[in-house]
Structure 1
Amino acid sequence: MEIERDSGENFERKRVEGLNGERRREEVDNKEEEEEAFMEKAFKETEVPPWTKQITIRAMATSFGLSVVFNFIVCKLNLTTGVIPSLNVAAGLLGFMMLKSWTTLLPNIGFFNPQLFTRQENTVIQTCVVASSGIAFSSGTASYLLGMSPRIADQAEGGNTLANVKNLSIGWMMGFLFVVSFVGLFSIVPLRKIMILKYKLTYPSGSATAYLINSFHTPKGAKLAKKQVAALFKFFSFSFLWAFFQWFFAAADGCGFISFPTFGLKAYDQRFYFDFSATYVGVGMICPYMVNISLLFGAIISWGIMWPLIEAKKGDWYRADLPSSSLHGIQGYRIFIAIATMLGDGLFHVMYMLVKTLISLALQYSKKKDSSSVTPAANEESTNSETINNNEERRTEFFLKDQMPNWVAFLGYIGLAVISIVTVPFIFHQLKWYHILVAFVIAPVLAFCNAYGCGLIDWSLASNYGKFAIIIFSASVGLSDGGIIAGLASCAVMMSIVSTASDLMQDFKTGYLTLSSPRSMFLSQVAGTAMGCVITPLVFWFFYKAYPLGDPESTYAAPYGLIYRGIAILGVEGISSLPKNCLALSISFFVGAMIINLVTDLLQKYETKYRIHRFIPSPMCMAIPFYLGGYFAIDMCVGSLILYIWERRNKRMASEFGPAVASGLICGESLWGIPAAVLSLAGASAPICMKFLSASVNTKVDNFLNG
């Protein structure tokens, strides 16, 4: 699995994963080249269990427990900024440690000697947990589904009609997820041998995960894993207790450490401050430096320069009496310029991915034709090469075992598609059966392109395909017939299929490198998806009832709910919904995003001496703070600074323990959301409100109280 989201969005969970993939490739590939030839030697005498012993009751129980934890984490991140880092390391580490403790403890207290804990079972747990938490992202509870709700519709104003609003409830959300979330798994299964064996796609995230799990189950790796888990729990405890301590000072909105005016009150008004969030310090430690700098750069451009200049035009460019949350006022510029930047970035990468896929397929075809005329040189194979060939033969042997027949995949896809075509229009009457049929005809092609692109460069563009589906289907249905809901629902169908397809192929690659059965990989993905379909709506509903989700002034601003609804409004109303000069600015940023990506790609391909492309910011990342501000970008840059200093002092230790420390920081504060939400639902509030006032305002307050 990759690190999320194009990302709540991607940035979007997979977009962060894609950007992080380049750095991981550089670090992991070099290491693998040295040790890959010898990795399988450690398991030469170890018997590979059949698939029925890879998927065990204890593995499923462990997966379910971790899935609940990770769903809370992803849901919280989705509802705050939408920036979701990789939780694969944490899932692999915790899965390893929980079952390793299980298998070690039981014999010592007199119970029977349990089944040996293998790397295949570890792979099943990791796959299941990440598949489940992945539903928290692809389900759209913080984006397109939330965008249907009256809360977001009231903010968007445009299209706020009965046909374009849908009340959220656990029942239909859970049913909808079960209907659409499994289809993508069947769409890509027939191509597994072509992708993994014939084209030998690398799937960097899947390969990195496999290398991690393989190393855990060697004596040296198991020892290191115990130290990593100890570091994770240490910083988990610190993060949880720090969040608990902060709660006492946050009796109302605008109170507490989260509102500390780090750079002064003027900067605080423009959303520039450090909010003491351990979660996003941890996120910053995982994400590449350029991602965090891009976020900060986008915040400076927008909240530091653009929005103050546009607000100075109040009364000219837009009505002065409009509230700050109106899409016809300053909020419209924030939302639609961010949307234009994301769409420009997304369109470039979709086109780039299609071209890259076609070129790669053409080269594969050409290589196949020429292979008969190529004769390998004799006696040029080294010992390492022979070992690698033996490893590949062994992996291929196990990968071809327990295969799911293609006819099962075809029947599964057709059967689930028919069920969706029949049931989805009952959930969303704005979508007709032929709309769903068109989506299911197009989706396998896009799923192939996305899965192939992930194999090449570790980028998943699922959310971009979803955004384009919103525009196309909402425009075709029209505003009066509920085009906004139709567009958002079509996004759900398209995104679910495309996202789960690429995730499954990553898992097949991980399974191939750990000698895990393809059948156990598929079934663990199915089990994880089923868990996610149940857990995600329940966790989301917990937050939905406890907090004012979608309120821009709230802790849980859920920015992508309004952004996705804004895309749908753009589809049904066109440019007439934009405030003055917003169209010109949006087009400029749309084109600018494509130009920046083009320049970056050209420099990356042709300029090798100074590697200037490393210092060019990402348009997708720059667009996220346009709506939210720079506070979380500052948190993430602090995380980058910590990691940078750590690497300068001890690069090896930072590489081995950095992800574990970051995961602990993320997990601890995120899990505090559970008791905090319970306290909120119970009507309990913090005893103290810590606020910061300017000297002049403080004098007025004192005079008022004393007068």
Structure 2
Amino acid sequence: MDRGELDELLNSEGEGAEESPAGRAGFARAAAPPWTKQITARGIVAGSAVGIVYGVIVMKLNLTTGLVPNLNVSAAVSAFVFVKALTKVLRKAGVMSTPFTREENTVIQTCAVACYSIAVGGGFGSYLLALNRKTYEQAGDAPGNTPESTREPGIGWMTGFLFVSSFVGLLALVPLRKIMIVEYKLTYPSGTATAALINGFHTPTGDGIAKKQVRLFTKFFSISFLWAFFQWLYSGGEQCGFLQFPIFGFSAWKNSFYFDFSMSYIGAGMICSHLVNLSLLLGALLSWGIMWPLIGGREGDWFPSTPPESSMKSLNGYKVFISIALILGDGIYNFLKVLYLTTKSICARMNKKKRKTFLEDENQSLDDLRRNQVFARESIPIWMACAGYAFASIISIAVIPIMFPELKWYYVVAAYVLAPALGFCNAYGVGLTDMNMAYNYGKVALFVLAASVGKDSGVVAGLIGCGLIKSIVSISSDLMQDFKTGHLTLTSPRAMLLSQAIGTALGCLVAPLIFFLFYDTFDVGNPQGEYKAPYAIVYRNMALLGTEGFSALPQHCLQLCYGFFAFAVVANLARDLSPKHIGNWVPLPMAMAVPFLVGAYFAIDMCVGSFIVFAYKKANGEEAGLMVPAVASGLICGDGLWILPSSILALAKVHPPFCLRFSPTTQFF
């Protein structure tokens, strides 16, 4: 979510209702319930259900394009709809239930996000999948790319790896939560936006808005699910169905410019900012519209025509390594930028603290005082958090080297010694900018470990070390984001931490099962298929680069990589140094990199989502900021939920009855 969307949401009726006298009075009638009352059996069921459904959705996004938008707000909407529907069903059955509070809504949202975050960041589309044999074969004969550096996916070892790596990050920053949330008053934009939405649901003035959101969610969920079923009926063969509708003609269709009617990507486009979607389209036009046709014409000159299409010495090598150059340029720039902002902000706060007077400490609003009181009332003992972190680290240090002998125990120790400091830097940066740099920390660890271990074991050590660092840094910042939501909704930190732990444990169990639902049903990792898993080959080649694998690059590829790396840095500088009305239109290199590998089709879907939001705001700007998340959530959930019955049908060898295929008229006349 970009800052403009955040400001619009914060200025909407939902948040305003809380700050208005009516809204404040509505919340002041009863004190916030104790944390034991905020976690309910109903909440655990709802959080688990929403988390599993979103796990399926994000796994599909992970394995198709690798681009997953921030779905916190969407998860909050879905949690509200689920509990309201469940309560209504129970009431009709004669079972009375307790009132649905905003604290319970926050706990459910936290549990759901923790659950599906494992599917997002568990490496199923990146560093873990990069170990399988199919990705190894795509990487070709690069130095260090040996059969011994492979590990086929398995439910057992994946589940074990997730359990020993995920819970360490859960406790890394718990002792610093008061400093980050109360003392530093970091904004955590996504967490603040989620809190604004939840507060709007549960204020007296927000009831009418909530009912309309529920109706819109239900309506578009049904439309999306039925449309996915209708599409499936006509997909009974290769290149059959609406998935490759050649709306721009067959020449463009051959270069992946077509419309595939994906409600998931249209919904994701409605959630992402216009800048992300336009950057995707620009990357698609630059790569598939210009570069790949031109470079493809140099076959036999720049690169031989004999290697398989997926080899790094073919056109695919340019696609992969230019994408890596854009990702690294953007990641390194933003890493240094956030590090600079973090350092500058901490120094400024330390100087301000020295000059702060008692009167300034007391100059807080009644709402802030109450929030801080609730946030501090049911605290988590520091000794318990530190002991839990040490215990989880010891288990991981013992287990990881047994699972992966290539990664020695002292590297794991070093990772867990550095993790709290890295997690603090990332969580602080997320609080300032809403930019999660966890993957960039992981990439740094990948290069360092791959180079340190060497060609024999560097690939496996680098990929697993990347996963350890990324997991710790990401989960700790996600928890801080949720703490911010809890602070603004008067939810107990203990309830938040426990719901996060429940969601994380559930995610570690179900995410591998969801992955194998796709892995056993579809051709995951096929560069020509629907489930390309583009980041698997990217991560493997990053590890190979760390072990000095530049000799695998085709001719002139390295020079092009230098150029696109520089472009990524210059584009970021231009966006940060230009006036706001100009900087808001400078493309995002990280978003541009995705179509280079995947294709142009999903960028078209995402831009359709942006167009829908633009038209919605023109038609009804006042309520668009509140209704767009409900519409987008319905589209995403309906299309994503169809994956479950379609996978079951495929496993049962039930095929679609029809084949709808588009062909040029010259084939018939």
- The total of aligned residue pairs comes to 664
2:178 maps to what in 1? 193
The more displaced of 346-355 and 660-669 is 660-669
CA deviation after TM superposition for structure 1 residue 333, in Å: 0.3
Mapped pair 1:544 → 2:536: no
Residue from 390, 394, 419 that aligns with 1:418? 394
What are the superposed Cα offsets for residues 116-139 of structure 1, whole Å, 9 maximum, x if unpaired?
321111110000001111111110
Q: 1:252 to 1:474 in 2, by over 3 A?
A: farther
1:135 maps to what in 2? 118
After superposition, residues 622-633 of structure 1 pair within 5 angstroms as 622-633=592-603
Cα distance in 1 for partners of 2:602, 2:92 equals 47
Unmatched segments (≥5 aa) in structure 2: none
After superposition, residues 4-403 of structure 1 pair within 5 angstroms as 20-31=1-12, 37-38=19-20, 39-103=23-87, 106=90, 109-111=93-95, 113-157=96-140, 158=142, 159-372=144-357, 389-403=365-379
The more displaced of 204-213 and 290-299 is 204-213
What are the superposed Cα offsets for residues 59-88 of structure 1, whole Å, 9 maximum, x if unpaired?
111111222211111111111112222332
Q: 1:33 to 1:693 in 2, by over 3 A?
A: closer
2:26–2:204 Cα contact (<8 Å) kept: no
1:7 maps to what in 2? none
Cα distance in 2 for partners of 1:657, 1:531 equals 30
Cα distance in 2 for partners of 1:583, 1:252 equals 40
Cα distance in 2 for partners of 1:528, 1:253 equals 38
2:551 maps to what in 1? 576
Cα distance in 1 for partners of 2:657, 2:81 equals 39
1:345–1:594 Cα contact (<8 Å) kept: yes
2:565 maps to what in 1? 590
1:676 maps to what in 2? 646
2:133–2:147 Cα contact (<8 Å) kept: no
Cα distance in 1 for partners of 2:313, 2:350 equals 53
Mapped pair 1:407 → 2:400: no
Mapped pair 1:474 → 2:444: no
CA deviation after TM superposition for structure 1 residue 114, in Å: 2.9
After superposition, residues 494-533 of structure 1 pair within 5 angstroms as 494-533=469-508
Q: 1:376 to 1:642 in 2, by over 3 A?
A: closer
1:21–1:457 Cα contact (<8 Å) kept: no
TM-score calculated relative to the size of structure 2: 0.96
Unmatched segments (≥5 aa) in structure 1: 1-19, 378-384, 700-707
Q: 1:397 to 1:334 in 2, by over 3 A?
A: same
The more displaced of 278-287 and 347-356 is 278-287
Cα distance in 1 for partners of 2:380, 2:626 equals 37
Cα distance in 2 for partners of 1:282, 1:63 equals 21
Cα distance in 2 for partners of 1:125, 1:598 equals 40
Residue from 623, 630, 642 that aligns with 2:612? 642
What are the superposed Cα offsets for residues 25-50 of structure 1, whole Å, 9 maximum, x if unpaired?
32134448855533433211123111
TM-score calculated relative to the size of structure 1: 0.91
Cα distance in 1 for partners of 2:86, 2:597 equals 46
Match of 2:504, SS state, is helix
Counterpart AA for 2:203: T
2:17–2:24 Cα contact (<8 Å) kept: no
Match of 1:573, SS state, is coil
CA deviation after TM superposition for structure 1 residue 97, in Å: 3.1
Residue from 576, 582, 601 that aligns with 1:612? 582
1:253–1:554 Cα contact (<8 Å) kept: no
CA deviation after TM superposition for structure 1 residue 160, in Å: 4.1
CA RMSD of aligned residues (A): 1.9
1:380 maps to what in 2? none
1:103–1:116 Cα contact (<8 Å) kept: no
What are the superposed Cα offsets for residues 605-640 of structure 1, whole Å, 9 maximum, x if unpaired?
xx25xx111111101111110011110001111111
Instruction: Give the share of equivalent positions with the same residue, in percent.
Output: 49
Cα distance in 2 for partners of 1:303, 1:496 equals 33
2:2–2:273 Cα contact (<8 Å) kept: no
CA deviation after TM superposition for structure 1 residue 318, in Å: 0.7
CA deviation after TM superposition for structure 1 residue 295, in Å: 0.3
1:686 maps to what in 2? 656
What are the superposed Cα offsets for residues 82-128 of structure 1, whole Å, 9 maximum, x if unpaired?
222233233222322333344455455443x4333211111100000
Cα distance in 1 for partners of 2:639, 2:529 equals 17
Cα distance in 2 for partners of 1:289, 1:594 equals 21
Match of 2:517, SS state, is helix
2:177–2:480 Cα contact (<8 Å) kept: yes
1:89–1:660 Cα contact (<8 Å) kept: no
1:339–1:563 Cα contact (<8 Å) kept: yes
